[in-house]
Structure 1
Amino acid sequence: MQLKKRQLFVIALSALCLICNAVSPFKNRGNGISSGVMMNTANPPPNSFTPILSSHGHGGIRPQNFIFGDKYGEKFQTQYQTPVPSYAPPHNFHNKFSHFGPQQHQNHKPRQFRNPFDVIFEWRQLDFEYPTFLDRQRAILNGDFIPINNVPLGVDRWRNRLFVTMPRWKNGIPASLASLLLPALDRSPPMRPYPSWEWHANPEAIQPDCTRLMSVYRIWVDECDRLWVLDSGIVNATIQINPVCPPKILVFDLRTDQPIFSYEFPPDQVKEDSLNSNLVVDVRNGRCNDAYAYITDVWRFGITVFSLAKGRSWRTQHHFFYPNPEACDYTLNGLNFQWTDGVFGMSLSPVNDPPDRLLFFHPMSSFSEFIVSTSVLRNESAWTLNSGGQASSFIQIGTRGNRGQSSTSAIDRNNVQFYTLVQQNAVGCWNTDQPYFPNSIDIIAQDNTTLVFPNDLKVDQELDQGVWVLSNRLPVYLYSQLDFTDINFRIQRASTRDAILGSACDQNSLKQPLHTLATL
């Protein structure tokens, strides 16, 4: 009963934080209160799933610490949670739950060895590859291209190309998605709009073309050589939220650069002031046409699940998707600001035994990591019929400690999770085969010059897997003024194996399996 009261208290604090401190990186800053605009959802299309081409694929209080044990042995342990009758866990997970008490968390200090990341691209300010010099000059004169307003946000890699997003946070952003060639011949190349200039809609048109790209936040390259593009449809969010178009997913065949399908989120899954800001894509055993996408709503605290085979989506909600009031205050390079951003970072466990994948997730304004079986999220009827019973399937597994806010994360083939630490200008790691103890997470890189606000992180699908990090000094862009005589934006890469050498995530450096520290 005492724990239930504590949970209610955490939720109440979160609600109070939203009312009194309703601030997020792109909302109206005049008085600290968000100015939401309801999306125009009149006369929605009867079918928001639009195949374009046939697929090429086959047929509150600081939370207590919960231990994630040997993932193919112990399952998860908590003090008060019990298995949900409607949820059947994988066959070799044991339904054992135990509590080991809160752990003492410390701020980790980076080890004294070389920074494993190499800078691949860097810019003082972004430029674009226009057809001609006159076209570029005309765009600048017309205000269609305002170089100082352009900031990169999302990144992903496919073979010899790197893809970068530029949301239309302000005026003068001519394209919202671009590609760059690898290996880099120029460390500061102009952005080449992807797939072409014609695909980028004009947000100031009287009737904007919402079938085109409007304001892309993040992207995902899947195992089927497809690029999934998350288009928020929101422009000028730093001034006043302007939902020019409904949020949508566009998917391109990377082998031909042709669109495969588009999907517009139904109006009842888009809340007032929603911002769909991140996605991960779940493809298993080459079943490209049975992919699922999980999309976060960072401002209205939900995860939307999209099924490609079904051609529809549904919205999931949980109190773990909300921000932690203690993590809403940020200080970076002398700037103090408050963000109440909810669920944001997500990473999927590899496809192996057991067959069900796990989704690790965390709110942006939080120090904690959470987990849920993807079968819970993929159970459409449980969410659309509001049958209940899903709440206890979400587990809190541990905390990164004070100043441990993280934006994005990803897991490599060796079960190592990499994550950003935005308030520490650092990148962390955790070997998911070990419990989420303070001595099993580590910092692999920290740099107050090259990693200022690491905003996006991806692990590619190459044979020699790489972890890619994009840093963009976003708080300086939002609340101060970028120094355009200095390097402001960087994209860096490290080998996933090389990055963890000598760290707590390196199996070779472990003196004993950490899961033996926990006994059931």
Structure 2
Amino acid sequence: MRRYLRTILLVLLCTVIAIECIKLEEKYCWQQLEYAWPSESVKEQAIQSGKYKVEDNLPLGLDVWKDKLFITVPRWKSGVASSLNYVTISDEKTPILHPYPSWEANTLPDGVQSQSEATAGGRAAAPKAVQSNVGALSNSSIISTFRIRVDECDRLWVMDTGLADILGNPMQIMPPALVIFDLRTNELIRRYPLPDDHVKEDTFFANVIVDVGKKDDCDNAYAYVPDLGAYGLVVYSFKENKSWRVKHNFFHFDPLSGDYNIGGVNFQWTDGIFGLALGRAETDGSRKVYFHALSSTKEFEVPNRVLQNESYSTGSDAYFDYKLVGDRGSNGQSSAEFFDDEAGVLFYTQVNKDGVGCWNAKKPYNPDTQGLVDSDSDALVFPNDLKVDANRNLWVLSDRMPAFLYKSLNYTEFNYRILKGKVDDLILGTPCV
């Protein structure tokens, strides 16, 4: 009997250890990014002209559609080869990036490429408008994008800032715009430049989420675009092809949460509303829109029906429809979040903790009810973006961005990683089950 009990305890112990050891799997890693150039001569010309400086290329955002994994490379500096790219999921450990939808769409015309050296610091000063050779661009052109979103209707939504060489000699080459592609044909569906009155002095559009009411009603879609610099939210109706700007006090940063210590770099940011996620559909079809400022540890929510009503959401009556969900606790700043409908779990990055957190929406929102599905002081230094794909895999991109912005990266090490894991496996043993 004693031996039998000992065997049971041993099995239980091994089960607990196995559960706690389930971590994100490293899918891809890069020391530096390389591209699928049309030819070696084109690559050499880009290097000679300064249009390609390998050290200027840092991956930031990602999303998945079938066998394509999309990766964004913002034009922080002047030598970015292509801002919107993809790799094939079956690619080797260090794949080269393929521009999407084409090289032409991601190539800046001659005369608008800055040769200035990038400078350390936060967001750029007011960018200069660029006139020369802009006519060479098309509606499919992607100047610089941070985050993207694949929707249920096989469309890729791109928030193109239109801004190049952000940290050096910033240039507003095209107006900020939503650019939407049909992933089945790789053709442009629409480009929607944001109206001038949506753009404020400190505006910085770096994220987009898409709210499709029903998969068989793809025209009835809304995009929510946070303005982390001027503390607003742009709501875009695909059916009406129009947008409106919403403001609220909850969009601002928390002055007590603006200090960061990541990968040996200390810095301060004042970024407001940034992370957004759609909650589970209610019986009436509505959803909660979860959101938080980057420089904050608090999570908020607002019904999507509020945002989708232009006259109501832009008036003062909507103020009390916004609710505080809770607080992630000390050092709980987060850059991105995504809600998994089936598990009812919200995943979010934990940039100051080199990790990824989770919260079950059935529970109160506080540090005791939240889990850390993975943390790694090497592989997860600045987890920048995450998504859950159609097969319920969680994908996470980490990129050591603070060192890229304020110091320098060691290119003999792996600096950029994409990791993945099964949602249900990752939340085992956490308060998120």
TM-score by length of 2: 0.88
Counterpart of 1:382 in structure 2: which amino acid?
Answer: Y
Matches within 5 A, 1:279-298: 279-286=208-215, 287-298=217-228
Q: Give the alignment partner of residue 143 of structure 1, picking from 26, 50, 53.
A: 50
* C-alpha displacement of 1:115: 4.4
Partner deviation per Cα, 1:72-94 (whole Å, 9 max, x = no partner): xxxxxxxxxxxxxxxxxxxxxxx
State the identity as a percent. 40
Matches within 5 A, 1:103-252: 113-184=20-91, 186-202=92-108, 204-205=111-112, 206-208=132-134, 209=137, 211=139, 212-252=141-181
Matches within 5 A, 1:397-476: 397-413=325-341, 414-462=343-391, 465-476=392-403
Contact 1:210 1:245 survives alignment (8 Å): no
Counterpart of 1:166 in structure 2: which amino acid?
Answer: V
- Aligned residue for 2:307, secondary structure, equals helix
Give 1:301's aligned residue: 231
Residue 261 (structure 1) aligned with residue 261 (structure 2): no
The answer for unaligned runs of 5 or more in structure 2 is 1-17, 113-131
Give 1:395's aligned residue: 323
TM-score by length of 1: 0.73
Partner deviation per Cα, 1:305-332 (whole Å, 9 max, x = no partner): 0000111000001011000000011111
Contact 1:223 1:461 survives alignment (8 Å): no
Flag the structure with more relative contact order, 1 or 2, with Cα contacts below 8 A and sequence separation at least 6: 1
The 1-side partners of 2:281 and 2:23 are apart by 27
The 2-side partners of 1:115 and 1:479 are apart by 33
The 2-side partners of 1:280 and 1:341 are apart by 18
The 2-side partners of 1:335 and 1:470 are apart by 19
The 1-side partners of 2:100 and 2:293 are apart by 30
The 1-side partners of 2:377 and 2:48 are apart by 36
Give 1:477's aligned residue: 404
- Aligned residue for 2:36, secondary structure, equals coil
The answer for unaligned runs of 5 or more in structure 1 is 1-110, 507-520
Pairwise CA RMSD of aligned residues?
Answer: 1.6
Contact 2:19 2:429 survives alignment (8 Å): no
* C-alpha displacement of 1:334: 2.3
Q: Give the alignment partner of residue 287 of structure 2, picking from 319, 344, 357.
A: 357
* C-alpha displacement of 1:284: 1.8
Contact 2:19 2:428 survives alignment (8 Å): no
Give 1:46's aligned residue: none
Contact 2:20 2:429 survives alignment (8 Å): no
* C-alpha displacement of 1:383: 4.2
Contact 2:28 2:94 survives alignment (8 Å): yes
Q: Give the alignment partner of residue 487 of structure 1, picking from 414, 422, 432.
A: 414
Partner deviation per Cα, 1:5-51 (whole Å, 9 max, x = no partner): xxxxxxxxxxxxxxxxxxxxxxxxxxxxxxxxxxxxxxxxxxxxxxx
* C-alpha displacement of 1:113: 2.4
- Aligned residue for 2:365, secondary structure, equals coil
Change (3 A) 1:225 1:112: closer
Contact 2:22 2:425 survives alignment (8 Å): no
- Greater strand content: 2
The 1-side partners of 2:70 and 2:166 are apart by 22
The 1-side partners of 2:390 and 2:53 are apart by 35
Counterpart of 1:190 in structure 2: which amino acid?
Answer: I
- Aligned residue for 1:371, secondary structure, equals strand
Counterpart of 1:337 in structure 2: which amino acid?
Answer: F
